[in-house]
Structures are given as C-alpha cells and as structure tokens.
Amino acid sequence: MSVAAALVERAASASPLIVQDAMSELADADELQFREEIERYPDPLVDIPRFIDGKELVRKLAFSLHEAGISPAGEIVELGAGTCWLSAELARRPEVRRVRAVEFSERRIRSLAPVAIAHLGAQADKIERHVADFYAHGLEPGIADFVFTDAAFHHAADPARLVRVAWDLLRPGGCLVLFREPTIARLRRTRDHGEEGEHGDFEREYTSREYLELLSDGGFLPERYTASGGWTTPRARAILHPPLSWLNGTLFAEYTYVGRRPAIG
C-alpha cells in the first residue's frame, strides 16, 4: 500500500461516520443518483488533490475569511459537504473543536472525504461525517458557532428552508457563511452547469441581491464580500484590484455571503 493510501485509510477510520436514513421530500433524487452512480472519480487519490489544489480552494477560503473578518472557531457544521475539503481545512485550525460535515451522498462522504482529509493533513477525529439530507440532518438545534456551505447552498430546492436549517443549528451570535456560491452577474445571466446539467436540474442561479434577501428574510444580518476567482491567471489576479475590481458585480460576481445571527432574538 502506498503512503498516500495508508494516510487515507487512517483518516477514514479516525473520522466518525454517522448514517441517517430518512430523507426529506426536498432531497433531489436526480442529484443523489448523479453523485452515487454517474459522477466519475477514476482515481480519487489523484482526482481529489487535483480538485483541491487546481481550484486553489484553500487560498480562496483564506482570502474570503480575511475579507469578511471571520475566524472560525468552536463547533462548525458544513451543509452539503461533498468531498469535505472545507470541513478538513477548517478542522486544521486549533480553535475549531469539531466539524460536522453533512452530505447526502454516502459515496462522496465515505470514500472521497478521507482523501481530502488526508491530503490537507487535518485531524480526522475532529471531523464527524454525517450521511444525511441537509434538511433532515438529525443534529440538535443551537449546536453550531458557524454553519458553512461551499458551492452547495445553490443546490437547495428550497433555499429559504435551508436558511432556516442554518438558523436553527446556530447559537445566537453565530454565523452562516455561503462560500463559492455562484452569483448571476449583471452581464452574465447564466452559467454552464456542465455534466451536472445533463443529469438533472439541481443547480440554481441567484443574483447577489437574492442571496442577501434570503439571508435577511431568514432573520440574519446579511453581508457580502468580494471573493477571489483564483491567482493562476493574470485575469483572475487582475479582478482583485482596481480598475477591474470595480466591475465585479457587472462581469464576474465573485462574492462570499455572510449571515450573522443576532446575539439576542
């Protein structure tokens, strides 16, 4: 067995796995089938690190947290965690006690997540993997200091309900972070949904205003911060600085959304 495979095996046995069978009526059967049977990961030991590093996910997260002035700590829940790379990256922080990663694809969370955890060198026993529908996660209310989504909020068939799910999970004063959720730009109204688009209709598109309204309608104090599209190309680097950064809302719409649950109420 290679060293990488041994580290993955160790992560898989150290990270608790809890399977919740009941799904809500909102869990998308097409997406679940896509994740379980169609999506291809021919060599997860190569594919998952390539996905994390190729998309510069760790650096993008650090940038967004810095922009938003957020230091994740305590108890965290990630909804729609997929490969769990974000849960793993947050678990690396000593101030984070535990991350509960909720994902309805058992294949993703059982076999792909340990690769991300091992690749990022996270402490696997701090990451509790929950195979569960994010509308019916089975977790206790008020347990989280932070709730995160990474490119998963826009997969919710009922986004207002998912905002309520996050609200209920958070303690008063807690914070919901919507990271890498695609935003419709003023001059770019639609996105190509790639292979996902061929197997269902589970990706939605929202304007920046719609994300902020969803948060405020759910009781959160909504905030929006510029996010990074990456650093590898000159274009991606250029949009982080004036004058191109002034066109973010018109052309690129790279944002992170934050909802703060008031400490009282």
Residues near 197 by beta carbon (within 8 Å), at least 6 away in sequence:
203
Decide: 72 and 93 in contact? Cβ < 8 Å: yes
Among the listed ranges 2-10, 61-69, 151-159, 215-223, the one in contact with ligand SAM (CB under 6 A) is 151-159
Minimum distance from residue 108 beta carbon to ligand SAM (Å):
5
Binding of ligand SAM at residue 104 (CB under 6 A)?
yes
Among the listed ranges 128-136, 166-174, 187-195, 248-256, the one in contact with ligand SAM (CB under 6 A) is 128-136
User: Under rule CB under 6 A, which residues in 19-78 are in contact with ligand SAM?
Assistant: 27-28, 31, 35
Binding of ligand SAM at residue 134 (CB under 6 A)?
yes
Decide: 197 and 241 in contact? Cβ < 8 Å: no
Minimum distance from residue 253 beta carbon to ligand SAM (Å):
17
CA–CA separation, 128 and 87 (whole Å): 9
Euclidean distance between the first and the last CA atom of the chain, given in angstroms as a whole number:
54
Structure-block tokens of residue 63 = 């940038």
Minimum distance from residue 23 beta carbon to ligand SAM (Å):
7
Decide: 150 and 78 in contact? Cβ < 8 Å: yes
Residues near 8 by beta carbon (within 8 Å), at least 6 away in sequence:
45, 114, 115, 118
Minimum distance from residue 180 beta carbon to ligand SAM (Å):
7
Whichever of 86 and 127 has its CB closer to ligand SAM, that residue is 86
Binding of ligand SAM at residue 256 (CB under 6 A)?
no
Residue with tokens 């990451």: 127
Binding of ligand SAM at residue 130 (CB under 6 A)?
no
Binding residues for ligand SAM, rule: CB under 6 A, are 27-28, 31, 35, 80-83, 85-86, 102-105, 108, 133-135, 150-152, 155
